[in-house]
Amino acid sequence: MIQRMLILVVDDDELVCRALKTILSTRKHTVLIARDGQEALSLLAEQTPDLAIIDLSMPGMDGMTLLSLVRQRRPELPVILVTGVGDIPMAVRAMKMGASDFLEKPLRRDELLCKVQMLTNSDPRQSNPAPVMHRGIFVDLTDSEWEVMRLILQGKTSKQIADLLGRSVRTVEVHRAHIMKKYQANSIVELLNKYWSSLR
């Protein structure tokens, strides 16, 4: 039986908030909605959520600033950050600051529910987590792949990496494909998430 959780959703987009509430409600979770950082901090002062889902790009107090404040006030609270395609470098910094996980828009229902379940340990018997990533597991990357990987971690695009390394975009894409396969990642967001998780 899946345990019901209290989840704080922070996003300035009403449609996103509504969609997240609908998805999470299918698992009987209770959802608190905050439309900005200040409202989220006020709710945290009054409530004790089991998880927070925070959008990185918000007017006023952005998700990064809110994450920093949440870490100060509620260091034990798991936080999932939601990022747009152009926010990968910011998402990388957020993982270093202690974000538990991050998701890329557009959000996929099954992926969201899986991550919520894993982070809250709501029912370990039903969870299907990704393989645990340990230090040194990716030592089979070639020198060229590590060069590309380091630049991916900086949020560089394939074209930027090609320019920096003096290689063709096609060559960089081949290296990137090999890296993704070795990390068992289906997206750049998943790749970065697994990399930073392995360093904890």
In whole angstroms, how far apart are CA 33 and each of 8, 21, 55, 87, 189?
A: 6, 8, 12, 23, 25
3-state secondary structure 40-71: HHHHHHHCCCCEEEEECCCCCCCHHHHHHHHH
* Residue 147 clears pLDDT 70, i.e. is over it: yes
Whole-model pTM: value is: 0.66
pLDDT averaged over every residue in the chain: 81
72 vs 100, more confident: 72
pLDDT-wise least confident of 45-54, 93-102, 115-124, 139-148: 115-124
106 vs 71, more confident: 71
Alpha helices by DSSP H, listed for the chain, are 14-25, 37-46, 63-73, 88-96, 109-120, 143-153, 158-165, 169-183, 188-198
Q: Which of 150, 164, 123, 125 lies closest to 4, judged by CA?
A: 123
pLDDT digits (tens, 9 = 90+) for 94-139: 777 878 887 888 888 888 888 888 776 644 334 333 333 334 444 4
- Can you read off the two tokens belonging to residue 32? 């608190």
6 forms bridges with which residues in the sheet?
A: 30
**C-alpha–C-alpha distance, residues 159 and 30, integer Å:** 44
* Residue 2 clears pLDDT 60, i.e. is over it: no
